[in-house]
Structure 1
């Protein structure tokens, strides 16, 4: 089911005013990718991009067409590791949310 514009605007407004929410969105998207939940991770990053810098700004920072980036994070998207890591790097720099990876022993 596609998200409605009202919902996207609500998420964007919340991300703008609530840094904890913004951090949680980014952290959850990348954590999903690391857990192997690729579809959820891509969807989470797409929502985070839309709620923060937008695809036009991301496009300018990466030198890639915005539609190409939108497809990468769409339902059938398949970004390369280079593209994915480049996007994460730009998102960290532009949004001020820095992710940290730590190893944790399995339970």
Structure 2
């Protein structure tokens, strides 16, 4: 029987060994949120959290219960800006990542 890894385990293993990959996950989540694709943005953010900080530690860092965090980032969730930015701050702080905003002209 062949050994297989779950998608989440594969992402977590890569994120643990590759800081650029962690940064790319977080950047993609924010890019999708800013582009208006909230469902994809929340899904990638959940994936990023699971692969890095985990919801229990995120709860400690933000002062919000892990169940509330999971609910707000679920497909039906609707996080407030304050909660969303708190999550992004905690993930950056824990992973050592740093998001930089820039404007680009669209044509």
- Please indicate the TM-score interval, normalised by the length of the shorter structure: over 0.9
Deviation at 1:13, TM superposition (A): 0.4
Quote the residue 2:6 is aligned against.
Answer: 6
**TM-score normalised over the length of structure 2:** 0.92
How far the C-alpha of 1:31 sits from its partner, in A, is 0.3
Q: For residue 6 of structure 2, give the secondary structure of its aligned residue in structure 1.
A: helix
Deviation for aligned residue 1:21 = 1.1
Q: CA shift at 1:105, angstroms?
A: 1.3
Alignment-derived partner of residue 34 in structure 1: 34
Q: Which residue of 1 aligns with 2:101?
A: 101
- Stretches of structure 2 that go unaligned for 5 or more consecutive residues are none
Give the equivalent residue in structure 2 for 1:65.
65
Could you say which residue in structure 2 is the equivalent of 1:25? 25
- Deviations along 1:52-104, one digit per CA (max 9) or x if unpaired, are 00000000011111011011111111100000011011111111110000011
Distance 1:22 1:83 in 2: 21
**Larger Rg belongs to:** 2
> After TM superposition, which residue ranges in structure 1, 4 or more long, deviate above 6 angstroms?
none
Cα distance in structure 2, aligned partners of 1:92 and 1:63? 16
Distance 2:106 2:75 in 1: 30
